[in-house]
Amino acid sequence: MNVLAAVANAKVLWYLTRGTGAVALLLVTLGLVLGVTSSTRWRSARWQRFVVIGVHRYVTLLAVAFVAVHVLTTVLDGFAPIGLRDAVVPFVSAYRPIWLGLGAVAFDLLLAVIATSLLRRRLGARAWRTVHWASYAIWPVALVHALGTGSDPRTSWLAALALACAAAVVTSVLWRIAAARGHVPVRVGAVAFALGVPALVLAWALGGPLRTGWAARSGTPSRLLASSRAGVAAGPSRLVKETAPVDLPQGSFTASLRGTVSEGADGNDLVLVRIDATARGGFGGRVHLELRGIPLEGGGVQMLDSLVALLPNGASAWRSGSVVGLSGSEVAADVRAADGRRVRVLLDLQIDPGTGTVGGTLHSVPRGESG
């Protein structure tokens, strides 16, 4: 297993999966709001009704495109055993089957709405309208899928996106109900439903994805959870924190490295890869590298954060920094010296997964050079 190569290759796909999923949720929300707007026959001097309908159609098609990219990057990512079948057949995946299955349900409903719109003249208005009512179910199902399956439910940006989407949907639906001409009990029930569904999703999120340990409870395969806990008998350690200034060598230096690599859990369902090595040569002391992220089924992690720390011989505290680049088994990092200058270091590592050992070299490079 080449841990660092896996991190470098997976990070781009991981960002694409997260980004396209978030954009797809935003487009589904916008499509629903535009659909409600067109159903009320709203128009203005600048936005005629046919313009609203046309924008609604293109937004929905764009949502399908982003969902397709989201599915493709998820399958290629390798984080979990997810195949193309899992994107269209609900509740058959080995990975979080319920919450991933809801994503498949939302995708199928979205395809059904588009297909019936294209065949509207053949189907007739009644059949088309019946299927189109499913668009109201797409949004909450997609939101629950995003919170239950994704890696960002406890991040502030996803919370802000979810709340903004919920506010837009609820406002538009209430507007639609107010403009409708129906029996009062029916309209009151529709209002209760429009307010109750987001409230139920929020209550579920507070007791589920927003709490620690959701990965295990949501149906993550045990082998993925077990792999993140293997290799650290004494339990996970926290990222090293600097406590006092430590001088680093002035100018460029080169040192040889020899140490160990281990992998364990950090207590939040994330894998923690640790490398501890001794450096000899132009820099003498200890080198510590940590990469924390989501465990990959085939080995390695999708990096969420990182730390590189150097401890010169005779020093009592570490000088720490973070990874700024990964290329195969080469790590580039910036470490701050005692005088405030940033030292760019390159770690060229050779990892032996069979023995859990690591060797290689440590270089410092002038600021401004690529690494």
For the chain, how far is it from start to end, CA to CA, in angstroms? 23
Q: Looking at the predicted structure, is the pLDDT value of residue 237 above 90?
A: no
Q: Each residue of 80-121: pLDDT tens digit?
A: 678 889 989 999 988 889 999 999 999 999 888 888 888 888
Confirm whether pTM is higher than 0.75: no
Is there a contact between 292 and 271 (Cβ–Cβ < 8 Å)?
A: yes
243: pLDDT strictly greater than 50? no
Long-range contacts: 322-327, Cβ < 8 Å, 24+?
323/289, 323/291, 324/371, 325/371, 326/4, 326/7, 326/8, 326/11, 327/8
Going by pLDDT thresholds of 50, 70 and 90, the confidence category of residue 49 is low
Give the other-Cβ count within 10 Å of 30's Cβ. Answer: 19
**Taking Cα atoms as reference points, which of 233, 235, 277, 270 lies closest to residue 255?**
277
Whether the per-residue pLDDT at 224 is higher than 70: the answer is: no
CB atoms closer than 10 angstroms to residue 87:
21
Q: Closest Cα to residue 237, out of 211, 209, 210, 267?
A: 267
Domain residue ranges of the chain, discontinuous segments joined by +:
3-220, 226-365
